[in-house]
Amino acid sequence: MFYVKLAIIYVIIWWVLFFMALPIGVKQSVKIIPGQDLGAPEKPRLWIKFFIVSIVAFIATMIAHLIITGNLLNINVK
């Protein structure tokens, strides 16, 4: 049950960080192809963002775990 709680915390942190990272470094496409959305990014670099966000989310999850298990916020987890 403990690992399920950590997995849920990780997924929530990951999605929040991923949505925060999506607009970073995005440039509008210079070459406009007929039928293409004008706001479509040229190189979104999703794989790089995916890996960086995964590492940062893991670190943030471990920090959250230490805060919760260390009872630093007086949260009663049973």
Distance CA 64, CA 30 (A): 42
- Kindly state the percentage of the chain with pLDDT values over 70: 95
For the chain, the C-alpha Rg in angstroms (whole number) is: 18
Distance CA 14, CA 33 (A): 33
pTM of the model: 0.79
Per-residue pLDDT at 43 exceeds 80: yes
Side-chain-side CA neighbours of 26 within 13 Å: the count stands at 12
Query: Which is more confident, 35 or 16?
Result: 16
- Picking from 28, 12, 4, the residue whose alpha carbon sits closest to that of residue 60 is 12
